[in-house]
Structure 1
Amino acid sequence: MQAVALPTMESELRALAWATLLTPACAVYARFTARCLRPGIPRLAALLPTFPVFVYMPCMFSSLHLRLFSTFFHTWLATNKLVLLALDLGPLHPRLPLLPFVLCAGLPIKVRLRQSQQQPTKNQPPSSSSPPPPGAEFLRPCARSVLLLSCLTVAYPYTGWLPLYALHYLYCIQIFLTLDLVFSCVMLVSAALMGGESLERQFNTPLAVTSLNGFWGRQWNLMAVDLLRESAYEPVRARWGRDVGVLAAFLMSGLLHELLYWYLTLQQPRGEMLLFFMFHAAFQIAERWARAAGLWRPPKAVAYLLVTAFMVVTIPEMFFGPFVRAGTDVRLKEETMAMVELIWGARKYLLRPFRVASS
């Protein structure tokens, strides 16, 4: 089976340049098309030429990290947003200004309503304090993720004695920190470019999980949750009920993760991602039934231990297993360590303008 080629600086910079050109071009075309055509089949047919571009874009990258983010940003989010745009749904709208439209189309961001646009209530007088600078709320998660990822990179060579489930839990933490770092950096730049627009965070303390419904619905990857809710859950729920809507959303998520598996390994998926998400969907529905019947009301600390144990038991074999067997985890760790070493090795050049003596 063909493997993903090893990345070089030249190949990745070239792929980044193409992605930086193609994504805004497709977004501008989509906005122009949406302003000219009514929602429905005409608008969807006009947007169809952009879909192959976003589907192919991850294949331009050899770095597994960049493939992963391109799959999520372009093949998953951008395509989903454009399909919803064709139906006059989702976060994109033809009346959005050009720059916010382009950024929202190609990046995992969601614009939050400004405080100045909200009607003040009688019990809440307008605040006289000046708002924080654009993106200030994303600086702390950036610094935290960099620090903790560096600690993980240093610790990985000494984790050979850990049991497999503990090592996979470290993988979960690495995935969260990496996604939070990239998303926070994206939002930091986007907020600055859009002149102070308030953006919603994409994670809400996902490691402090006390409920499967809370984790998948209100804590983890909220941009993907919003799109799955509009594209799968809401239409199915309106016709067949809430539980079938949940199954539809998890089914779509499982299929998208099967696609992610193919992009990262170039191997034929075997349905393990789909099985993992459908398994969690069934337990999420069962948890809600038990809570409604009064059978599931444990203390918060007990709920945290039980749900975390459920995650630790199901994630290693069902989610990480296929990637581990394909050697993807080793490749991702090598790329992470190489990036940290590159940044650490470049520190003397970054500090040179400040005339800081090298030790």
Structure 2
Amino acid sequence: MGGAPATHGLDQPTMESELRALAWATLLTPAFAVYARFASRRLRPGLPRLAALFPTFPVFVYLPCMFNSLHLRLFSTFFHTWLAINKLVLLALDLGPLHPSLPLLPFVLCAGLPIKVRLGQNPTKHSTSSPPPPPVADFFRPCARSVLLLSCLAAVYPYTGWLPLYALHFLYCIQIFLTLDLVLSSAALVSAALLGASLERQFSAPLAVASLSDFWGRQWNLMAVDLLRASAYEPVRARWGRDAGVLAAFLMSGLLHELLYWYMTLQWPNGEMLRFFILHGVFQIAERWARAAGLWRPPKAAAYLLVSGFMVVTISEMFFGPFVRAGTDVRLTEEASAMMELVWSTVKHLLRPSGMVSS
């Protein structure tokens, strides 16, 4: 693991401080979502609606700063500073997943959480002879799987000092995927139960891809992909073409990750996140050109190995490097281990009265 000191400028999280920040976020996010729906129903798209929604943006920018836990700071950055603001800007332009005609509860949940209702489904038209499966079923399994595998990672990390850097960073990639999938699937699980609607999964199989286009376009964090497509790719593509649209989406993603770096370390970004995403955008365009010209058609196993190697090397050198130097990886691992210990101790405490575990 990284040998750098703990992340500068951030106090150690306490239960009291994080619960207080969570309470504020839980109060403010729905309140501003209700306001956004009220304002957008009364104002036409464009500058009038954007001007009405703009006062909410500084609050969503500030919310991650209320957390000292790096995990909560990361997810607040993603939920509030990235997604909520992006959705509200698109709402001001009459685009994106939010629309004033949405009922209040779906609007509030979609504004504050990374969820997306599955298109092409009308819950009022299900066949009476074969009722659909409960929508929560799609998300319970990934939640349980992620908890189990994250617990295994937490148990393995103390014994990884002998691993080469790339192998250790591959474990980091797995941890990031499992953590994101756990949180996003949990949010979707609760939302599906409340809405009674089926929601789309945000991840497919990002650790088993044979092309960069497949990874970034169809496997990884699909809510962010949809918003980048609406806010960057499609407007630029309409004017300057497909390749320019791809570069615009990766440029925007790189800038958002530079902001994430600042939130996580409180250190001024040095452009490595931006270079990482621009590099991947360029290689994705080159991959598509090579396929169209018949120059890139390797067997699936070879393509998987080449793409995985490219991902691991570039992520290790360009993406994780700034965080490792800031000591963020150490603190994230410590927080993850503490959380897994808390989860399992809580489970044991709940099962002890039944006699399933000994005291």
Normalised to the residue count of structure 1, the TM-score between the two structures is 0.95
- Equivalent pair of 1:114/1:198 in contact (CA under 8 Å): no
Please report how far the alpha carbon of residue 128 of structure 1 lies from its aligned counterpart in structure 2 after TM superposition: 3.2
Q: Which residue of 1 aligns with 2:11?
A: 5
Please report how far the alpha carbon of residue 282 of structure 1 lies from its aligned counterpart in structure 2 after TM superposition: 0.5
| One-letter code aligned to 2:143 | C
Please report how far the alpha carbon of residue 312 of structure 1 lies from its aligned counterpart in structure 2 after TM superposition: 1.4
Q: Indicate which of 66, 69, 92 corresponds to 1:63.
A: 69
User: Does 1:36 find its partner at 2:42?
Assistant: yes
- Larger RCO: Structure 1 or Structure 2 (Cα < 8 Å, ≥ 6 residues apart)? 2
Please report how far the alpha carbon of residue 317 of structure 1 lies from its aligned counterpart in structure 2 after TM superposition: 1.1
Q: How does 1:270-349 map to 2 (within 5 A)?
A: 270-349=270-349
State how far apart, in whole Å, the 2-side matches of 1:346 and 1:204 are: 30
**2:331 counterpart SS class:** helix
Distance of aligned partners of 1:357 and 1:273 in 2 relative to their CA distance in 1, 3 Å threshold: closer
State how far apart, in whole Å, the 2-side matches of 1:242 and 1:127 are: 45
> Which moves more between the two structures, 130-139 or 60-69?
130-139
Please report how far the alpha carbon of residue 144 of structure 1 lies from its aligned counterpart in structure 2 after TM superposition: 0.6
- Equivalent pair of 2:8/2:326 in contact (CA under 8 Å): no
Q: Note the alpha carbon deviations across 1:102-126, whole angstroms, 9 max, x for none.
A: 0000000001136446999xxxxx6
Q: Which residue of 2 aligns with 1:255?
A: 255
| One-letter code aligned to 2:81 | T
> Which moves more between the two structures, 342-351 or 210-219?
342-351
Q: Note the alpha carbon deviations across 1:2-57, whole angstroms, 9 max, x for none.
A: 52111000000000000000000000000000000000000000000100010000
- Equivalent pair of 1:255/1:273 in contact (CA under 8 Å): yes
Q: Which residue of 1 aligns with 2:28?
A: 22
Q: Which residue of 1 aligns with 2:223?
A: 223
State how far apart, in whole Å, the 1-side matches of 2:311 and 2:192 are: 34
Q: Which runs of 5+ in 1 are unaligned?
A: 121-125
Please report how far the alpha carbon of residue 249 of structure 1 lies from its aligned counterpart in structure 2 after TM superposition: 0.3
| One-letter code aligned to 1:261 | Y
- C-alpha RMSD of matched pairs (Å): 1.6
Q: How does 1:167-182 map to 2 (within 5 A)?
A: 167-182=168-183
State how far apart, in whole Å, the 2-side matches of 1:117 and 1:285 are: 39
**2:130 counterpart SS class:** coil
- Equivalent pair of 1:114/1:197 in contact (CA under 8 Å): no
**1:252 counterpart SS class:** helix
**1:350 counterpart SS class:** helix
Q: Which runs of 5+ in 2 are unaligned?
A: 1-6
Please report how far the alpha carbon of residue 286 of structure 1 lies from its aligned counterpart in structure 2 after TM superposition: 0.3
Q: Note the alpha carbon deviations across 1:154-208, whole angstroms, 9 max, x for none.
A: 00000000000000000000000000000111000001111x2110000010001
Percent identity between the two aligned chains: 80
Please report how far the alpha carbon of residue 356 of structure 1 lies from its aligned counterpart in structure 2 after TM superposition: 4.3
Please report how far the alpha carbon of residue 355 of structure 1 lies from its aligned counterpart in structure 2 after TM superposition: 5.2
**2:334 counterpart SS class:** helix
User: Which 4+ runs in 1 deviate beyond 3 A?
Assistant: 113-120, 352-357
- Equivalent pair of 2:135/2:199 in contact (CA under 8 Å): no
| One-letter code aligned to 1:264 | M
State how far apart, in whole Å, the 2-side matches of 1:62 and 1:219 are: 30
State how far apart, in whole Å, the 1-side matches of 2:121 and 2:166 are: 44
Q: Which residue of 2 aligns with 1:213?
A: 213
User: Does 1:91 find its partner at 2:97?
Assistant: yes
User: Does 1:187 find its partner at 2:193?
Assistant: no
- Equivalent pair of 2:213/2:284 in contact (CA under 8 Å): yes
| One-letter code aligned to 2:277 | F
- Equivalent pair of 1:54/1:79 in contact (CA under 8 Å): yes
| One-letter code aligned to 1:305 | L
Distance of aligned partners of 1:290 and 1:155 in 2 relative to their CA distance in 1, 3 Å threshold: same
State how far apart, in whole Å, the 2-side matches of 1:94 and 1:187 are: 21
State how far apart, in whole Å, the 2-side matches of 1:173 and 1:348 are: 26
Q: Which residue of 1 aligns with 2:3?
A: none
